Amino acid sequence: MGNVLVVVEQLNGKTGEITFEMLGKGRELASALGGELHALVIGGQADELGIADKVWVMGDGALAHYTSANHKAALVAAISAISPRVTLIGNTSIGMDLAAGASAATGIPLIAYCNALRVEGGQVVGTSQIYGGKVLAEVAPEDGACIVSVLAGAFPASAGRSDKTPVLETLAPPALDNRVRFVRLIEPEAADVDITKAAVVVSVGRGIQSADNIELADGLADALGGVVGASRPVTDAGWLPKSRQVGKSGLRVKPKLYLALGISGAPEHLEGMKDSGLIIAINQDASAPIFDVAHYGVVGDLFEIVPALTEKIKG
């Protein structure tokens, strides 16, 4: 059998985007393997998972709060009960606890940091992004089953949503492992923005011209769920606090998306952001060095493009 099991990630009662990304991919893998797509919910709720053929729901209040020990035990129990061919786990904080832990406990090999998956001659082949993204390794399990930890954003989430109602089945929870005990969740304080932790940084340079125009960047950052960063002249001028400065004498950032608006790309600035996942630069000057490190570039006026872009994203 070639069933694919997606481990549903829920925090604070909300299903993470990564889950739908995995479900979409899982659907594709399941049909290539001639099996079913299953989802596993540990201690949570099974809404929105209509794309799965079957949803396993394990546990109750005791597992409601995520703890690495309990949820690992639960996952291990579920894998031995369901025996999936492929187990997909998000490469998130939670997934980092679970995937390697389950691999060690079950002896099933793990493909980590996976950003591409396919079935070839009946075998699952995964591509793992290692060495800081500088190398892609194509790997396959020596035999049969595997666990895969999937990078966020690797697959489209849209393919993982459906309004069908899945078959629900309950699984008995394992004995609790109380060596790790949940205390509380702490929400980030709204006041302090840490640009090094944001997935999206919308950075502005001197091209923004004045403090008043910063709100343009704020709007775009809000729409993208990101934060606003800056080059040094902008923080020097006091248009943004020093804590937003990217670069040699500021902070080094590595977000998934870095938007450089009106930044020329001086070496001191590039030093702080060149390793970002995706860099898009908007600058009037076609010869600005920022275009040497950006993945995509637009030669144009930021005051025209940014408002239009914000509008478009807001939908």
Ligand X SMILES: Cc1cc2nc3c(=O)[nH]c(=O)nc-3n(C[C@H](O)[C@H](O)[C@H](O)COP(=O)(O)OP(=O)(O)OC[C@H]3O[C@@H](n4cnc5c(N)ncnc54)[C@H](O)[C@@H]3O)c2cc1C
Given 262, 281, 297, 310, the residue binding ligand X (CB under 6 A): 262
Q: Of 47 and 285, which has the nearer Cβ to ligand X?
A: 285
Candidate list 26, 174, 207, 219; residue touching ligand X; CB under 6 A: 207
Which residue number, 134 or 312, has a Cβ lying nearer to ligand X? 312
In angstroms, what is the minimal distance from the CB of 175 to another protein? Answer: 14
3-state secondary structure of 172: coil
The residue whose two tokens read 């702490």 is 186
Toward another protein, which CB reaches closer, 33 or 193? Answer: 193
162 C-beta neighbours (distance < 10 Å), count: 16
- The number of angstroms, rounded, from the C-alpha of 27 to the middle of its chain's C-alpha atoms is 19
Question: What's at 5, amino acid-wise?
Answer: L
Instruction: Compute the least distance from the CB of residue 181 to another protein, in Å.
Output: 4
In this structure, are strands 110-120 and 123-130 parallel, antiparallel, or unpaired?
A: antiparallel
Residues 219-248 that bind ligand X (CB under 6 A): 231-233, 245-248
Give which of ligand X, another protein, none residue 269 binds (C-beta under 5 to 8 Å, depending on kind). ligand X
Q: Return the C-alpha torsion angle 315, 12, 44, 26, nearest 10.
A: 40
Does position 302 bind ligand X by CB under 6 A? yes
One-letter amino acid of 211: A
Minimum distance between the CB of residue 223 and ligand X, rounded to whole angstroms?
19
Rule CB under 6 A: choose which of 250, 255, 259, 291 binds ligand X: 250
Pairing label, strands 10-11, 14-15: antiparallel
* Binding residue for ligand X, selected from 60, 138, 285, 311, defined by CB under 6 A: 285
Compute the least distance from the CB of residue 74 to ligand X, in Å: 46
Helix/strand/coil for 234 = helix
Nearer to another protein, 169 or 182 (CB): 182
* Footprint (CB under 6 A) of ligand X, residues 136-175: none
297 contributes a contact to ligand X by CB under 6 A: no
69 binds, among another protein, ligand X, none (CB under 5 to 8 A by kind): another protein
Shortest reach from residue 282's CB to ligand X, in Å: 6
CB of 218 to another protein, least distance (A): 15
From the list another protein, ligand X, none, pick the one residue 297 interacts with, judged by a Cβ distance below 5 to 8 Å according to partner type.
another protein
Size of the residue set binding ligand X (CB under 6 A):
27
266 binds ligand X per the rule CB under 6 A: yes
- From the CB of 200, what's the least distance to ligand X, in Å? 18
Cα–Cα distance for residue pair 61/315, rounded to 1 Å = 38
Q: What would the two tokens of residue 245 be? A: 């400065």
Task: List beta partners, residue 7.
Answer: 40
Q: Which residues of 237-263 are buried (b: 16+ CB within 10 A; e: fewer)?
A: eebbeeebbbbeebbebbbebbbbbbb
Residue 303 contacts which entry, another protein, ligand X, none (Cβ below 5-8 A, type-dependent): ligand X
CA angle 45, 47, 48 (to 5 degrees): 140
Phi and psi based region of residue 38 (left: phi greater than 0; alpha: psi -120 to 50; beta: remaining): beta
Q: Which two tokens stand for residue 167?
A: 């078959």
Helix (H) or strand (E) holding 263: none
Extract the tokens encoding 26. Answer: 């899982």
- State which residue, 111 or 119, has the beta carbon closest to another protein: 111
Binding stretches for ligand X (CB under 6 A): 205-207, 231-233, 245-250, 262-264, 266, 268-269, 272, 282-285, 288, 301-303
